A and B are shown apart, each in its own frame.
Chain A
Amino acid sequence: GQQLNQSPQSMFIQEGEDVSMNCTSSSIFNTWLWYKQDPGEGPVLLIALYKAGELTSNGRLTAQFGITRKDSFLNISASIPSDVGIYFCAGQLGGGTSYGKLTFGQGTILTVHP
């Protein structure tokens, strides 16, 4: 089956720094999603990307759908303590939607020091 490789596995940064993480796949996805998981909770959608090359922002978050459809990155600018959590990328084969089966990356654990 499809596999997503997400990196880095963990990051320890100072408040105010920018963060970048990415996912690569051995096969093509038609939709890329980025989720955040807080302790004791399920993942919550941050950004959805539906077209190759698409660049989308949500506040301090920016994500891009790679032109080859095999990769995506997420940037967080000016990090704050509440950015702490686990970030997951997820890919979906179904085009133009975000509601079918998802394949998840391994997650990036983000720690922000005040």
Chain B
Amino acid sequence: DADVTQTPRNRITKTGKRIMLECSQTKGHDRMYWYRQDPGLGLRLIYYSFDVKDINKGEISDGYSVSRQAQAKFSLSLESAIPNQTALYFCATSDPRRGYTFGSGTRLTVV
């Protein structure tokens, strides 16, 4: 099994719909992140959490919310999806010794 698992891998949704992307990890790391990847822009940080009770906005948090349900679970929600949220979304975990581990990504299309 993958260390960082994202579900779903692909999703097509309509404008205005609420959607949740889920991330779970088996690495036991405290720190978890959500990044968004767009062509030509690299990865940009949406939200991050350094432990279960800690949630912080990244550089592009508008239109998104997160929930850290447990050390192993960090979900990203789009309350009312819009087409410019079409992107590849990555969850990641990190620890001081081994740095980052990324999930395989969720490709989201908003039509």
A40:B104 contact, CB within 8 angstroms: yes
Interface bracket on A: 20 to 34
B48:A101 contact, CB within 8 angstroms: yes
A45-B93 Cα distance, complex, nearest whole Å: 13
Residues of B within 8 A of A90 (CB): 43
> Which one of A42, A100, A101, A105 contacts B90 once the chains associate, using CB atoms below 8 Å?
A42
B43:A99 contact, CB within 8 angstroms: no
Q: Tally B residues with Cβ within 8 Å of A.
A: 25
Within A73-110, the residues touching B (CB, 8 Å) are: 88, 90, 97-107
Interface positions of B (Cβ within 8 A of A)? 4, 31, 33, 35, 40-45, 48, 58-59, 90, 92, 94-96, 98-100, 102-105
5 contacts between A and B (CB under 8 A): A4-B42, A90-B43, A98-B94, A99-B100, A100-B94
